[in-house]
Structure 1
Amino acid sequence: MANTYTQIHIQTVFAVQNRQSLILGQWKEELYKYITGIIQNYDHKVLQINGMPDHIHILFGMRPTQSLSDLMKFVKQDSSKWINQKGFVNRKFSWQAGYGAFSYSKSDVQNVINYIKNQEAHHKTKTFTEEYLQLLKDFEIDFDNRYIFHPIE
C-alpha cells in the first residue's frame, strides 16, 4: 500500500482455558518465540511478550493489512496446536475464548513494555482478574461480567 503510513500499538491479553496454570517455566520461552514467529509471519512486529502460567500479554506493532480478530485467531489456534504437538501438557491444551486488546500511543509503549516484562513481580500484588478488570476500566470498555476470564467450576 503505497503512501500508507501507520503507527498502531496493540496489547493483547488472553488466558489458558479454565484459567489453568499450564504454561510452565521450562517451555514458556519457546512458546513466546513460537507466538512471536506467528505474528511476524503476518508482517507485524512483536515489541514484548510475557505472562504467567495462566495468561499471556503481547505488545506488538500492527500493520493495517489484517484484522486483529484474524490475527488473534491464528495466534491462539496455531500456538494451541503447537503446544499439543510438542506434548508440553499431559492433556489437550487450549486457550479460553476471547481476548482483550488495548491500543497505545507511541509515548506509552516503553511503559507497556516494562509492565509486560515485569508480570511476575506485578502478580505478587494483583490477581489476573484484578489486572484484567483494571485494564477494561482504564480503557472505559463496557463488559459483561459473565464473559470475563473466570475459571470454570
Structure 2
Amino acid sequence: MDKSVYDTRENDLTYGRGYVYSIQYHIVWCTKYRKAVLRHGIDDDLKAYLMQIAADYDFSIQAMEVMPDHVHLLISCKPQFCPSNMIKILKGNTARWMFIHHPELKSSLCGGHLWNPSYCIVTVSDRTKEMVEQYIHSQKAKS
C-alpha cells in the first residue's frame, strides 16, 4: 500500500456509554478557485495535520487523500458531532495552520483564502464503506 495514504481500519461498531454507533462521512472540499497548491510536500504536511486534528477532536480518519486542488476524507465520528461543525474545524484549523507553516500559499491565492467556502459531505453505509475507501485511495492514480 502507498505510504502516503492513511488507512486506520477499526471495528465497524463503536461502543459509547449507553449507545452503539457506526457513523462515517465522505467529505470533499476544494482550494479557492481550484488552484493546485497542495503539492511539493504541502500535501504530506496537510495529511499529518489532519491526523493531529482528528486525534485532538476524537474522531477517526479512515481514509484520506490530498490532491493538488482538493481533499478527500472518510471520517468516522461520534453521534455528538455536528457535520457542519466538523467541517468548520477541519477547514478553519488547516487554513490557519497552512498559512503559518507555508506563508508562500497566501501570495498564490487571490484574497488570501485557502479553501472554497463550499464542501461535499455524504453519509457512508456499511455496504458502501469499502467502495468509498477504494475511491479515495485511487485518486492519486487517476491524476
The verdict on a shared fold, with TM-score over 0.5 as the criterion, is yes
- What aligned pairs does 1:37-48 form with structure 2 within 5 A after superposition? 37-48=52-63
CA distance in 2 between counterparts of 1:42 and 1:109 reads: 22
Alignment of 1:60-79 (within 5 A): 60-79=75-94
Partner of 1:143: none
CA distance in structure 2 between the partners assigned to 1:11 and 1:32 by the alignment: 16
**Residue of structure 2 equivalent to 1:17:** 32
Aligned-residue offset at 1:93: 4.6
Equivalent residue letter for 2:105: V
Q: Percent identity?
A: 22
Q: Which residue of 2 aligns with 1:106?
A: 126
Q: Structure 1-normalised TM-score?
A: 0.74
**Equivalent position of 1:97 in the other structure:** 117
Alignment of 1:109-128 (within 5 A): 109-123=129-143
Aligned equivalents of 2:133, 2:106: Cα separation in 1 = 32
For 1:89, give the aligned amino acid.
Answer: L
CA contact (8 A) 1:14 1:100 kept: yes
What is the DSSP-based 3-state SS (H/G/I as helix, E as strand, rest coil) of the residue aligned with 1:49?
strand
Tell me the C-alpha RMSD between the 2 structures.
Answer: 1.6
Alignment coverage as a number of residue pairs? 123
The structure carrying a bigger strand percent of its residues is 2
SS of the residue 1:38 aligns to: helix
Determine whether 1:28 maps to 2:43: yes
Partner of 2:78: helix, strand, or coil? coil
CA deviations over 1:20-48 (Å, ceiling 9, x no partner): 11101322112111012212321111001
8 Å Cα contact 2:47/2:66 also seen in 1: no
Q: CA deviation at 1:119?
A: 0.5
Query: How far is 1:4 from its partner?
Result: 1.2
- Checking the alignment, whether the CA contact within 8 Å between 1:44 and 1:61 is kept in structure 2 is yes
TM-score w.r.t. length of structure 2: 0.79
Query: Counterpart of 1:84?
Result: 99
